[in-house]
Amino acid sequence: MDRDIRNIVILTGAGISAESGLATFRGPDGLWEGHRVEDVCTPVALARNPALVHRFYDERRAKLGGVKPNPAHEALAALDAAWPGELLLVTQNVDDLHERAGAKRLIHMHGELRSALCAACGKAVSWTASLPPETACTGCGKSRLRPDIVFFGEMPYEMDAIDDAIRRADLFVSIGTSGAVYPAAGFVQTARHVGARTLELNLDPSAGSFYFDESRMGPASVLVPQLVRELLA
Ligand code: NAD
Ligand code: ZN
């Protein structure tokens, strides 16, 4: 890294978990694990077919038991532990591989598979089993628990904290994301606007590649440990 860097924001997407064995959002067939996004990832889909949507996230949640963090998650956790300046890891992923690798300064902007959200009172509770529709909330008692996933059309979590961090950032890194889903896809533009250096690590050029000062193409398990070595050198 060729300039003084103190504050870092790192955005991660499904690509960082691909080598752990979790399918990315839009596979080659344009589907997420065989489903159209509109059928499993919108409030309308949940209202129309709660059984299908709950089952879909039950399957994704169950899958977490059989996967583990890869060297990219581990390198970011090591960076988090060692970095003396500000650092914020913002993930679009709903898996828990960053925290299982040990990352602490982490925001799950699109929710978490291992969490259930009460649509009646807004309380979120940790959830590792399956979640049938009509499950009662332990807070208010109403049968409105749903997967704690931010659907298309819903507001991502902690947008103010993320925006504040990007505005203080000297370096913004995007890892394993297609750059197709807003608002996350727009973070690089804020980062550029405030003069941060911008770097993309991805298997192939993303939709917003041209916004980045530098793009490195390759698998996250190789590129991320390499970047962390550079930053900690
Ligand atoms: P995406 O699937 O749209 O894009 C993934 C990107 O990662 C692609 O550009 C691909 O080229 C790249 N990639 C694939 N393998 C890679 C590797 N080994 N190393 C580096 N890059 C690699 O994913 P997205 O942009 O994160 O889409 C967003 C939505 O998908 C998120 O909202 C998220 O909630 C949801 N999602 C999450 C998971 C998860 O939690 N693991 C999995 C699938 C989808
Ligand atoms: Zn409730």
Question: Which residues are marked as active site?
Answer: 110
pLDDT for residue 63: 96
Global confidence as pTM = 0.96
Handedness of CA 153, 158, 164, 170 (dihedral sign): negative
Q: Binning pLDDT at 50, 70 and 90, where does residue 2 land?
A: low
CA 44/CA 152 separation, integer angstroms:
10
Segment 113-146, tens digit of pLDDT: 999 999 999 999 999 999 999 999 999 999 999 9
44 Cβ contact list (under 8 Å, min separation 6): none
Question: Which CATH class name applies to 1-22+68-110+155-233?
Answer: alpha beta
Q: From 3.30.1600.10, 3.40.250.10, 3.40.50.300, 2.60.120.260, which CATH number describes the 23-66+113-149 domain?
A: 3.30.1600.10
Task: Map out the domains of the chain as residue ranges.
Answer: 1-22+68-110+155-233, 23-66+113-149
Please state the rounded mean pLDDT for residues 92-105.
98
CA distance 149 to 32: 15
The arithmetic mean of pLDDT across residues 36-55, rounded, is 93
- What are the pocket residues of ligand 1 if the criterion is a CB atom closer than 6 Å to any ligand atom? 13-15, 17-19, 22, 24-26, 32, 92-95, 110, 176-178, 180-181, 202-204, 206, 219-220
